[in-house]
Amino acid sequence: MARPRKPIDSAMGWSTSDAITVRGKDLPSELLGHVNFGDMAFLEVMGRLPDDHESAVFNSLLVTLVEHGMTPSAIAARLTYLGAPESIQGAVAAGILGVGSVFVGTTEGAARTLTAHITRESDPTEVPEIAAKVVSEARRSGKPIAGIGHPVHKPVDPRVPRLFAIAEEHGLRGNYVALMEAIGVEASNQYERVLPVNATGAIGALLCELGFDIRVARGLGAMARAVGLVGHIAEEMDKPMALELWYRVEDEVVERHVGTES
């Protein structure tokens, strides 16, 4: 017996012999030359173009996520390119696979924490009490707080105050930002060490302020990081380091075991 059919539809885009439509807008006349890359990403995910304030904040958070130096995802991309130089897309994909709960993906974790405890309409005076609750629950469970702490940037992650300042300039510094900041202060107090809000925590808060579905947060991080990975591979083409990384690791392993055996 044939299964009942359901209509298939998508609002993303479609083409005819003489037109290309993306999210209801004509690509050649309404988007090309009028919309930057970040605003196009906003349109694709949100189904509408951002206003000027949303555009400034969203583009800023994307720029923040593009490059983080020699991270595991960048190293994976470079090593994959070494093994398959004919497949730059494979090297980028290899790096993107490393965007998870430890790197970049903590944006989603921070956003989930915030949306589980507060809304835009919540009473701002409740923020300190909520922050204390979030940190106390994390201490009891022994789980880290997404978006809090950084191994290098102390006492302040320099990206965070700038991102929050941009949000304030554009009227998008609301309850989510306030709660993220309060969690950072409370965590530092309860754990008795400096635990600043990090960039992924700030970005998680700003995605909430912008009204994004938090389920796509990690995807937005992957999108921005893909740009950086292409940059790493472009550098690898001219100034390769992947072969040296491989040789160093292999040589150290061999030397360690040969030395142990002798």
Domains and CATH numbers, the chain: 106-213 (1.10.230.10)
In this prediction, residue 254 carries a pLDDT of: 92
Mean predicted confidence (pLDDT) in 118-144? 94
Give percent above pLDDT 70 in the chain.
Answer: 97
Mean pLDDT of the chain: 93
- What is the spatial distance between Cα 27 and Cα 247, in angstroms, rounded to a whole number? 48
The residue type found at 24 is G
In this prediction, residue 1 carries a pLDDT of: 72
Among the residue ranges 23-27, 106-110, 183-187, 242-246, the one predicted with the least confidence is: 106-110
Residue 5 has pLDDT above 90, yes or no: no
Residue 202 banded pLDDT, cuts 50, 70, 90: very high
In this prediction, residue 182 carries a pLDDT of: 97
Residue 15 has pLDDT above 70, yes or no: yes
In this prediction, residue 261 carries a pLDDT of: 55
In this prediction, residue 260 carries a pLDDT of: 57
In this prediction, residue 16 carries a pLDDT of: 94
Residue 26 backbone phi and psi in degrees, to 5: -70, 120
**Max avg pLDDT among 7-11, 47-51, 107-111, 214-218:** 47-51
- What is the spatial distance between Cα 211 and Cα 185, in angstroms, rounded to a whole number? 25
Mean predicted confidence (pLDDT) in 219-228? 94
For residue range 77-99, list pLDDT tens digits in order: 999 999 999 999 999 999 999 88
For residue range 96-114, list pLDDT tens digits in order: 998 877 667 689 999 999 9
pLDDT: is 244 or 98 the higher one? Answer: 244
Among the residue ranges 13-22, 44-53, 142-151, the one predicted with the least confidence is: 142-151
Contacts of 80 (CB under 8 A, 6+ apart): 90, 91, 94, 95
Q: What is the dihedral of CA 23, 51, 168, 42, to 10 degrees?
A: 10
Residue 259 banded pLDDT, cuts 50, 70, 90: low
Residue 4 banded pLDDT, cuts 50, 70, 90: confident
Mean predicted confidence (pLDDT) in 32-41? 97
In this prediction, residue 154 carries a pLDDT of: 83
User: Based on the number of CB atoms within 10 Å of its own CB, is 40 exposed (0-12), middle (13-18) or buried (19 or more)?
Assistant: middle
